[in-house]
């Protein structure tokens, strides 16, 4: 499959806009997360490069690293999200003439659906994890870039909510009630955290205008 990160932004947007089943919203959500992570890394970087903010360096250094790692993780997840959905489509196309084929197809669809829910859940988790560092970045980061911390929180929250929509739509075709309940519980927890962190960051940002 095409490596999305190696497409031009133009080409990536063309792929999103095309009629092909992938890439779709799950991949776009992960790409938004990658932009949020890149902005967090930038703000941390222009704090660490200035002696003026030396008092914040110890707090900000791990955020620079977390941003860089999360960016790579989001690009991997953007790719995996499309691969997981391609597998669902491929499983649905398996032959279903004999009872044996029907059973094998059903098993493959179930497995593929499960993975298509798990991948965006990992995206949402990664975004909430990075969001949790942004209130500190809004308070201690270079104040000239505080609006970029706000933009990062908006992109990471959109990433969380977009990924969780993909979790939800895939859960609707999964029979394992225990798995569904567990994923729904985590969905609610991550949504609550994401909304709370986004609001907290935006309030800190607007205070500095």
Q: Which residues bind to a second copy, rule: CB under 8 A?
A: 4-10, 12-14, 16-19, 24-26, 28-29, 31-32, 34-39, 41-42, 45-46, 49, 67-68, 71, 75, 145-148, 150-152, 154-155, 157-158, 161-162, 165-166, 168-169, 171-172, 202, 205-206, 209
Q: What angle do CA 22, 168, 69 make, to 5 degrees?
A: 65
CA dist 189 and 94 (Å) reads: 36
8 or 98: whose CB is closer to a second copy? 8
103 or 182: whose CB is closer to a second copy? 182
For residue 202 the two structure tokens come to: 């935006």
14 or 101: whose CB is closer to a second copy? 14
Residue 181: Cβ-neighbour burial (10 angstroms; 0-12, 13-18, 19+): exposed
**Residue closest to 204 by CA, chosen among 161, 124, 157, 140:** 140
Q: Which helix (H) or strand (E) holds 32?
A: helix 25-48
**Least distance to a second copy from the beta carbon of 94, Å?**
19
Size (the chain), residues: 209
68 or 139: whose CB is closer to a second copy? 68
**Least distance to a second copy from the beta carbon of 23, Å?**
9
């Amino acid at each position: 499959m095409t490596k999305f990160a190696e497409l031009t932004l133009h080409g990536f947007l063309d792929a999103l806009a095309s009629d092909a089943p992938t890439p779709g919203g799950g991949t776009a959500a992960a790409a938004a997360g990658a932009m949020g992570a890149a902005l967090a890394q930038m703000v941390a970087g222009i704090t660490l490069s200035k002696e003026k903010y030396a008092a914040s360096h110890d707090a900000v250094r791990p955020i620079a690293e977390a941003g860089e790692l999360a960016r790579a993780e989001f690009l991997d997840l953007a790719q995996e999200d499309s691969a997981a959905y391609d597998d669902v489509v491929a499983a649905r196309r398996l032959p279903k003439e004999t009872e044996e084929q029907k059973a094998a197809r059903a098993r493959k669809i179930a497995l593929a659906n499960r993975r298509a829910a798990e991948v965006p859940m990992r995206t949402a988790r990664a975004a909430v994890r990075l969001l949790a560092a942004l209130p500190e970045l809004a308070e201690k980061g270079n104040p000239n870039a505080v609006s970029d911390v706000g933009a990062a929180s908006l992109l990471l929250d959109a990433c969380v909510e977009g990924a969780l929509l993909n979790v939800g739509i895939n859960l609707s075709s999964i029979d394992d009630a225990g798995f569904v309940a567990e994923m729904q519980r985590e969905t609610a927890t991550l949504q609550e955290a994401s909304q709370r962190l986004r609001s907290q960051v935006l309030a800190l940002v607007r205070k500095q205008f």
